[in-house]
Amino acid sequence: MTEQSTKDDDQASASTKAGSEAADSGKRERVATLALLALAAVAAGAVVWGTRGAPPATEQATPSVSVARSSPPEATRPALVVPRRKEAQDVLDATCAGVASPDCACRLKALERSFSLADSKLNAALLLKAETEETCTKSPAFAGLKAEALARTSSPSATEFIAATLAHAPTDAHALFADAYQHLLSGNRDKIEALLGKAEQAGRGAAVHTLRGVWQIQQRQREAAKASFAQAIALDSDDVDAMYNLAVLEAEGGGYNKPRSLFLKVLKLRPDHLDARFALASLTHKAGATPEAKRQQALLEALAPTGDARVIQLRALMTSASDAPSASPFPGAPPEFHVRKKSGTP
């Protein structure tokens, strides 16, 4: 992410907060709540993360909250700067800052760091960088990290490699987490809680809470899922998956300030997180913060591939009146809860 783009999101956050405080004169509207999206998407034996499709079964949420509609005029907004996608070398450089030639320890730490960013492309690229360092493949930590990377990137060899790793190191935290991850993706859920418990006991804290939260959403345990995502964030403030999922839940419950803040944090870490861009634009549009909504729409259109469904849906939303009645801040196709991304999906 460029320094300017980070400043843009920070300035947007500050200016909209100021606009909210100035709106106490009565310019407020009701933001209706979104029916709870129960994540149950199992397509071709895999739970899909970050792809759009027919929405799963829903249950209706009822609370609502009033939010300020005012926002700074367009003239006071910074010029649009499209951020670039974070690459593997960026993560490696940030992790190994001050190291002239990143050694194995740095490469493995960068790979582990990429798990928090929830980007399968980064996972795959940083695994490759670790594998090219001969000493890394001989490290006791390597096999477990590779097992989790293969699971997160949906590698065909993941299941076999995870089993082999656990046979050799049955208490490896990353391999245990990868095993739970694979079971959730494959729809084999009978052992999920036991596997998550083992991974948590072995020390894979934040990631376990995030995966447990996704599992709880599948079981329609909304409040429990929110608590799990909050626990994950407390342990890892850069856990993109936990922040995004919690933001969607909070928005569905009628919130505005908290989900907006979480979406902005996601975008600071992952400027190419298209679902978060779509969700933030939708949320701010329904709140009447039109300049911010338009800015996020412009960034989404600049970052998304041609014909992306989120761009089309957002254009339709942005042409409608912000105070038009709606049961959801995400009309059309709500953001999906994440459990993984298909390799190569932003």
Rounded Cα distance between 268 and 2, Å, is: 10
Mean pLDDT taken over the chain: 78
Let me know the angle formed at the C-alpha of 246 by 26 and 46, rounded to the nearest 5 degrees.
140
pLDDT value of position 68: 42
Section 301-327 average pLDDT: 82
Radius of gyration for the alpha carbons in the chain, expressed in angstroms and rounded: 20
pLDDT, tens digit, for every residue of 208-236? 999 999 999 989 999 999 999 999 999 99
pLDDT value of position 341: 42
Average the pLDDT over each of 36-40, 287-291, 309-313 and give the range with the smallest value: 36-40
Q: Are strands 42-43 and 46-47 parallel, antiparallel or unpaired?
A: antiparallel
Distance of CA 346 to the CA centre of its chain: 10
Rounded Cα distance between 296 and 294, Å, is: 5
pLDDT value of position 108: 95
pLDDT, tens digit, for every residue of 66-98? 334 444 454 555 677 888 888 999 999 999 887
Structure tokens at 31: 């933001």
Rounded Cα distance between 131 and 109, Å, is: 13
pLDDT, tens digit, for every residue of 189-203? 788 999 999 999 999
> CB-based contacts of 169: which residues, under 8 Å, 6+ apart?
140, 143, 144, 175
Residue indicated by tokens 């490290």: 139
SS3 state of residue 178? helix
Average the pLDDT over each of 10-14, 150-154, 281-285, 317-321 and give the range with the smallest value: 10-14
Rounded Cα distance between 140 and 260, Å, is: 41
The listed range with the strongest mean pLDDT (7-16, 60-69, 282-291) is 282-291
pLDDT value of position 11: 53
Instruction: Give which of 309, 318, 294 is closest to 345, Cα–Cα.
Output: 309
Kindly report the backbone phi and psi dihedral angles of residue 36, in degrees, each rounded to the nearest multiple of 5, phi listed first.
Answer: -65, 125
Q: Where are the domains of the chain?
A: 3-318
Answer yes or no: are the C-beta atoms of 43 and 53 closer than 8 Å: yes
Give the C-alpha distances (Å, rounded to integers) separating 266 from 183, 239, 256, 269, 270. 27, 8, 15, 5, 6
What's the CATH class of domain 3-318?
Answer: mainly alpha
Answer yes or no: are the C-beta atoms of 200 and 208 closer than 8 Å: yes
Alpha helices in the chain (DSSP H): 3-21, 88-95, 104-116, 120-131, 134-137, 142-152, 158-168, 173-186, 192-202, 205-218, 222-235, 240-252, 257-269, 274-286, 290-303, 309-318
pLDDT value of position 42: 26
pLDDT, tens digit, for every residue of 32-53? 333 333 333 322 222 333 333 3
Answer yes or no: are the C-beta atoms of 211 and 184 closer than 8 Å: yes
Cβ burial of 79 (10 Å; 0-12, 13-18, 19+) is exposed
